[in-house]
Amino acid sequence: MSTGALGNVVTCGATYTEILPVHECFRSIQGEGHYQGKAAFFIRLAGCDVGCHWCDVKESWTVDASGYWSVQYLAEQAAASGAQIAVITGGEPLLYDLTFLTAQLKSRGLKTHLETSGSSPLSGEWDWICLSPKKFKPPLPTIFTQANELKMIIFNKSDFLWAEENAAKVTVSCKRFLQPEWSREKKMLAEIVHYIKDHPQWELSLQIHKYLGLP
């Protein structure tokens, strides 16, 4: 489902949080982390100020003036998809106040899951927060204790130390995942498996949607 297919609904007089810039929405399975394999409706918001050089969704960085959608319409689309989980991702979704979006999703019975770098202030009401810190713009200190899941992207060996530095800031109950950066998967996967054997507090996350050719 593309932006064009869903249309663009902006209500005259709406406040900023009643409309959001959307890059794309689609129904798929969660390919990463604790909810890997679960069906979900994904809302990929547009805009990111983090700038990871290996980002695989660079096309989501730009906010298209024609891509603002009504939050109520977004929530209706999520509910109509039949999914039980709405995953809000980006881009960096916390560039925006997500209070109204999560309220609208919850009022329709959906669980709200967030995928964020944590580099902007947390807003919204969440059933699950996946924090994926990036060196290029590290998380704000307050989000660490809110995270249900810590997902560290491993691009090279120095990222294991970066992963441990972040893991020291989350709660004991927070799930810890190491995930190879997709373009480096063949090079780093064996290193990650070896690391997890020696550090069993970590789990392996693979982007299984990419192996399956899913969005």
Query: Where along the sequence are the contacts to ligand SF4 (CB under 6 A)?
Result: 48, 50-52, 55, 57, 60, 90-92, 117, 134
Nearer to ligand SF4, 113 or 134 (CB): 134
- On whether the CB atoms of residues 131 and 170 are closer than 8 A, the answer is yes
The C-alpha angle 40, 34, 120, rounded to 5 degrees, equals: 80
DSSP state of 45: E
CB of residue 125 to ligand SF4, shortest distance in Å: 22
CB of residue 24 to ligand SF4, shortest distance in Å: 13
Query: In angstroms, rounded to a whole number, what is the distance separating the alpha carbons of residues 17 and 39?
Result: 27
CB of residue 145 to ligand SF4, shortest distance in Å: 21
Burial category of 173 from C-beta neighbours within 10 Å (exposed 0-12, middle 13-18, buried 19 and up): exposed
CA end-to-end distance (rounded Å), the chain: 10
Query: In angstroms, rounded to a whole number, what is the distance separating the alpha carbons of residues 87 and 130?
Result: 10
CB of residue 153 to ligand SF4, shortest distance in Å: 8
Nearer to ligand SF4, 73 or 87 (CB): 87
Query: In angstroms, rounded to a whole number, what is the distance separating the alpha carbons of residues 44 and 30?
Result: 13
Nearer to ligand SF4, 104 or 150 (CB): 150
Nearer to ligand SF4, 115 or 128 (CB): 115
Residue 70, Cβ neighbours under 10 Å: how many?
19
CB of residue 179 to ligand SF4, shortest distance in Å: 11
Instruction: Identify the helix (H) or strand (E) that includes residue 141.
Output: none
Nearer to ligand SF4, 72 or 159 (CB): 159
